[in-house]
Amino acid sequence: MHLMKVDPRALKENSDRSRQTKSTPQADALLLATIKAVGLVQPPVIAPESDGGNGYIIDSGHRRVRQAIAAGLEEIDVLVVDAANDNGAMRSMVENIARDPLNPVDQWRAIERLVALGWTEEAIGVALALPVRQVKKLRLLANVLPAMLDHMAKGDMPNEQQLRAIAAANLDEQREVWKAQKPKNGDPQVSWWSVANALSKKRMYARDASFGDDLAQAYGISWVEDLFAPADEDSRYTTNVEGFLGAQQEWMTIHLPKRGVITDVNNYGEVVLPPKAERVYGKPGKSDRTAMYLDREGKVQSVNFRLPEPKKKSADEAEADEAIVMPKPRPDVTRKGVEMIGDLRTDALHEALARAPIEDDTLMALLVLALAGRNISVQSGASDEVYGFAGMERHAVQLVDGDGKLTSDRDTLRVAARSALIDVLSARENRTKSGIVARLAGDAIGADGYLPTMGTEEFLSCLSRQALERSCKDTPVLPRARVKDTRAALVEHLKEQRFVHPSAAFAPTAAEVASWRSKSVVGADDDADVTADDADIGSGDAAALDDVDPDTIDEAYRVAAE
């Protein structure tokens, strides 16, 4: 075997060659392009004619010879071997059967080597007659987990869409998914669909965004170019779905037309209009309104709607405002939520009364407060009005010894006082409710610290959209287009934290205290007139019970006893 240069036109084809089927025009074009770009990488093999002639026949490399002629090469390098008795038939067959095409992973490694040597993707595409898109696709393998690459090199390759999804994920995510999805028990195949599906992230495209760069920056959105999208469209996208929807929501709020509303879509993707509203499909009239919403793809959409004409007003209402009144907004906390807060407050108050440190003076003041509760149901002997709660014998028994004498043991007195207060004070929304005095007492002893977390689906479902979004203010959770999505995200964020809604705090407002004081003056003689002002209970901050003068409390007890 030796190497020599020959004119490719002087070589004769072998009639006994194994590959008789014509190659495709695409394959011929690819080979021609590579020969023009880098020449003949592998010389054809030729042998002398077996019939004694002076010429040479092609043993292997017929396509290379034809495309070298098409490329206009005057000379090519060839390997000359001895003539075979079978005219090279066996050598031709073995050469074609044993040839193993380069797998995509090896192609990628070869391309990366060329890039390292200074080749551009475009130049590699021209040299190999490959579309630049195919070169870019192969280069995606650089972002694939090595363990996956080793499996792909065996011939089990994902399709282009699956490969893109895999390459878009970080290596840690790929490692976790591959651990669960890699072939087991010698199975040669991988469910690339399952791998790609586990790693897929929803994309939100810049072309669907109504907001600009300022909101994108405010919501932490960075755009990524989709290399495989058509060249004539904006293919930038982000996987920050929460940020995208939050920016869209804020854009709608800023650009909401006058008298317009922001609404949601139902389970079928249809816009939800206000009750009794009619959608306007044609040109809207002056009295028609606009509803803006986000569709399932996160795009801002708007529709026009018309509310029914208001009923004719009576003569007495003729001068009333004729503006359309929208349905009454939902309160921040529903009735069920108020009831839940009452239960939680009561449990926290009772726990604080049982466990929190309470000074003796404060304890006496709390007892006076408890006797003023709205749930007191026993008549006083001094008046026909209701002043006190008398079903407390079980606590009183603890204070009297066998001789009928009151105990002087302070610990016994404290335990009895705490137990009595637990029985009396209640913030529940039922007949046991003590009213504002329970909140005053809870604020005085720090019962807020005993409230449980309220960041649950059950409680947060009792909040209106506005109240729910206010609850997101000090958290990284951004409001979603749909209330249930906002609530689910907030529940997920708060599951490891303690969250107490501001409406559940014990401390009443100054207005509530003033109203209670004005309605709760105790009637008595001029010489023994004891009011809430005299006892200084409830004035200013309700927590001031710790500063109540013991002599004042004793006087309040004396008047109540009379």
pLDDT at 382: 35
- Long-range own/partner contacts, residues 13-16 (CB < 8 A, 24 or more apart): 13/57, 13/58, 13/62, 14/57, 14/58, 14/59, 14/62, 14/87, 14/88, 14/92, 15/87, 16/86, 16/87, 16/88, 16/89, 16/92
Long-range contacts of 382-389 (CB under 8 A, 24+ apart): 382/561, 382/562, 387/560, 388/560, 389/424
Residue 386's pLDDT is what?
Answer: 37
Whole-model pTM: value is 0.37
Q: What is the pLDDT of residue 141?
A: 82
pLDDT for residue 525: 40
What is the C-alpha to C-alpha distance for residues 91 and 60, in angstroms, rounded to an integer? 8
The Cβ-side half-sphere exposure at 16, using a 13 Å CA radius, reads 14
Q: Which residue ranges does the chain devote to CATH 3.90.1530.10?
A: 2-98
Q: How many CB atoms neighbour CB 449 within 10 A? A: 12
* Cα gap 535→549, rounded to integer Å: 8
Q: Look at residue 327 in the predicted model and tell me its pLDDT.
A: 58
User: What is the pLDDT at residue 443?
Assistant: 92
Alpha-carbon distance values, 284 to 258, 265, 325, 508 (Å): 14, 21, 19, 49
Distances (CA, A) of 78 to 5, 40, 93, 442: 6, 10, 19, 100
For tokens 């694939």, what's the residue? 144
Per-10-residue mean pLDDT of the chain, 562 residues long, equals 85 72 77 82 81 77 87 87 61 54 75 82 76 80 85 82 82 86 75 81 87 89 79 82 88 89 85 89 88 90 87 60 54 85 88 87 75 60 38 68 76 83 86 86 91 91 88 85 87 88 91 81 42 38 45 48 44
Tell me how far apart the alpha carbons of residues 82 and 339 are, in angstroms, rounded to a whole number: 101
Q: How far is CA 533 from the centre of its chain?
A: 53
220-252 per-residue burial string, b: 16 or more CB within 10 A, e: under 16: ebebeebeeeeeeeebbbbbbebbbbbbbbbbb
Phi-psi region of 75 (alpha: psi -120 to 50; beta: other; left: phi over 0): beta
Q: Which of 299, 200, 289 is nearest to 247 (CA)?
A: 299
Residues 6+ positions from 130 with CB-CB distance below 8 Å: 30, 124
CATH topology of domain 2-98: 3.90.1530
Show the tokens assigned to 322.
């004729």
